[in-house]
């Protein structure tokens, strides 16, 4: 849960899951085979550099969202533009990549550059062009250092936290070992 004005970030291998303010996210299953979350309200921004083994799945009150290609995505639960008669609509925005939404009796694919509002009973889909928000700009800014990472030449993007190496040290070649990462600041008890 993130309070008003707060944001959070979860890094799991090649996936960055970012929570905007007033977002409730539960980890339903997290192991070597699957990453499954339940978003009950709020907004997520997801960056998938590669497809994780078993995929990444987001359960919402309207159905399940899975990602069929790497990319950048936003999911809004409780979307005001879909609300009506107590309906808590879900918006799936795909900036890059592709997502699949599955409800009890239907399935919909949302492609790059599209935003889909899912509401009603049975689920109705309204498509529009993907629109970025200030939260998306914040998430994209967090990704920029990753796209120029020197670490990716030495460490798999499947390793959680690989993004932090460039910010805190440099890579140099050691004759006996090959590439070695050296911290910029080392304290006596490090």
Output the 3-class SS for 111-171.
Answer: ECCEEEEEECCCCEEEEEECCCCHHHHHHHHHHHHHHCCCHHHCCCCCCCCCCHHHHHEEE
For the segment 170-182, what is each residue's pLDDT rounded down to a tens digit? 899 999 999 999 8
Q: How far is CA 23 from CA 37, 79, 93, 156, in A?
A: 13, 12, 17, 30
Residue 113: how many CB atoms within 10 A of its CB?
11
Q: Can you give the pTM of this predicted structure?
A: 0.78
SS3 of residue 165 by DSSP? helix
Per-residue pLDDT at 137 = 95
SS3 of residue 144 by DSSP? helix
Token readout for 131 is 């629109």
Local confidence band at 2 (pLDDT 50, 70, 90 cut-offs): very high
Higher model confidence: residue 44 or residue 123? Answer: 44
Residue 13 has pLDDT above 60, yes or no: yes
For residues 92 and 71, what is the distance between their CA atoms, to the nearest angstrom? 13
> Which of 78-82, 86-90, 119-123 shows the highest mean pLDDT?
119-123
- Tell me the Cα Rg of the chain: 19
Per-residue pLDDT at 164 = 80
**What single-letter DSSP state applies at residue 84?**
B
For the segment 102-136, what is each residue's pLDDT rounded down to a tens digit? 987 789 999 999 999 988 777 788 899 999 999 99
Q: Tell me if 61 sits within 8 A of 82, measured CB to CB.
A: no
Token readout for 101 is 């939404």
Per-residue pLDDT at 147 = 60
> Rounded to a whole number, what is the distance in angstroms from the first to the last CA of the chain?
33
73: nearest Cα among 38, 105, 48, 108: 48
Q: Tell me if 103 sits within 8 A of 116, measured CB to CB.
A: no
- Looking at the chain, the number of H-run helices and the number of E-run strands are 2, 12
Share of the chain above pLDDT 90, in %: 54
- What is the chain's mean pLDDT, rounded? 87
Q: How far is CA 144 from CA 72, 97, 117, in A?
A: 13, 18, 28
């Amino acid at each position: 849960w993130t309070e008003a004005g707060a944001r959070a970030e979860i890094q799991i291998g090649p996936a960055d899951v970012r929570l905007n303010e007033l977002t409730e996210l539960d980890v339903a299953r997290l192991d070597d085979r699957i990453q499954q979350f339940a978003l009950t309200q709020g907004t997520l921004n997801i960056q998938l550099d590669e497809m994780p083994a078993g995929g990444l799945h987001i359960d919402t009150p309207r159905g399940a969202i899975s990602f069929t290609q790497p990319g950048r995505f936003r999911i809004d639960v409780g979307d005001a533009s879909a609300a009506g008669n107590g309906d808590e609509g879900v918006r799936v925005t795909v900036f890059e990549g592709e997502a699949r939404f599955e409800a009890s009796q239907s399935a919909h694919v949302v492609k790059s550059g599209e935003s889909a509002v899912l509401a009603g009973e049975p689920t109705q889909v309204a498509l529009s062009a993907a629109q970025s928000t200030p939260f998306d700009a914040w998430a994209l800014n967090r990704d920029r250092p990753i796209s120029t990472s020197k670490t990716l030449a030495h460490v798999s993007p499947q390793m959680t936290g690989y993004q932090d190496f460039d910010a805190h040290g440099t890579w140099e070649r050691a004759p006996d070992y090959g590439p070695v990462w050296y911290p910029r600041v080392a304290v006596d008890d490090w």
